[in-house]
Chains A and B, each alone.
Chain A
């Protein structure tokens, strides 16, 4: 069975602080994909990143960085120098390679205060 756990329900930070959103997953598949999506207050989901299970290289995109560790089944997301516009719900998701269903975590609501 597949499962995605985002233990942090809500996080509140002050602007310019760094913040890490945790994601732990469970799967029996040997190859799979991991994703992060952002859902701002307007509701639409925005794709942020996809990571293949066989590629453990960390990735950085501007103020965003992702740390994928297969040994701990974690795919954490860090926002550096957070901004008010980063306030949103962030979902971590998992999909088996070749599969169609994407399983979402419960989401972490991030509040960035000015």
Chain B
């Protein structure tokens, strides 16, 4: 149980284009999902908290107009990197927190998406 699927796993896009990454909770509902960014050999940096049916909450220093987050249903959140630049190249990973307290704040992660902007 508690499977989170992220798609695509790998994406290469041209500078200036936009790319969308999907995060789905397959066997549970998630009112809250999180988007992280990870640079090589570094820890996870929380970018934003995605709340179903409402606006995402962005961490300080994260451009909300560049990293658009939509959480349209209890099982799907999307991250769109707009007007991508090479410095946006990174590993993006989402996580989902099952609705309810049973899970005790445990978040389950997707497989991650490698974005390369050329």
From the candidates B34, B43, B104, B107, name the one contacting A105 in the complex (CB within 8 A): B43
A residues 95-114 near B (Cβ < 8 Å) are: 95-102, 104-107, 109
Q: A43-B112, A44-B111, A44-B112 given as contacts; is B104 within 8 A of A100 (CB)?
A: no
Residues of A within 8 A of B34 (CB): 100, 102
Stretch in A15-23, A45-53, A61-69 touching the partner: A45-53
Contact call A37/B105, Cβ cutoff below 8 A: no
Interface check A91, CB cutoff 8 A: yes
A residues lining the B interface (CB < 8 Å): 33, 35, 37, 42-47, 50, 52, 91, 95-102, 104-107, 109
Q: What mask results when residues 103 to 117 of chain B are scored 1 for a CB within 8 Å of chain A, else 0?
A: 011111111101000
B residues 29-76 near A (Cβ < 8 Å) are: 32, 34, 41-44, 46, 49
Contact call B105/A102, Cβ cutoff below 8 A: yes
Distance between A3 CB and nearest chain B CB, rounded to angstroms? 12
Give the interface residue-count category, chain B.
20 to 34
Inter-chain CB contacts under 8 Å: number? 58
20 new A-B contacts, CB < 8 A, other than A37-B109, A47-B2, A102-B34, are A33-B105, A42-B111, A43-B93, A43-B111, A43-B112, A43-B114, A44-B109, A44-B110, A47-B106, A50-B106, A91-B43, A91-B44, A95-B105, A97-B105, A99-B105, A100-B49, A100-B105, A102-B95, A102-B105, A104-B44
Residues of A within 8 A of B44 (CB): 45, 91, 104
B residues lining the A interface (CB < 8 Å): 2, 32, 34, 41-44, 46, 49, 91, 93, 95, 97, 104-112, 114
Contact call B109/A45, Cβ cutoff below 8 A: yes
Give Cα distance in the complex from A105 to B111, angstroms.
19
Q: Which residue of A lies closest to B46 (CB)?
A: A101
Give Cα distance in the complex from A1 to B17, angstroms.
38
Distance between B6 CB and nearest chain A CB, rounded to angstroms? 9
Give Cα distance in the complex from A102 to B95, angstroms.
10
CB pairs A–B below 8 angstroms (19 shown): A43-B93, A44-B109, A44-B110, A45-B112, A47-B2, A47-B106, A47-B108, A50-B106, A91-B43, A91-B44, A95-B105, A96-B105, A100-B34, A100-B49, A100-B105, A101-B46, A102-B46, A102-B95, A107-B42
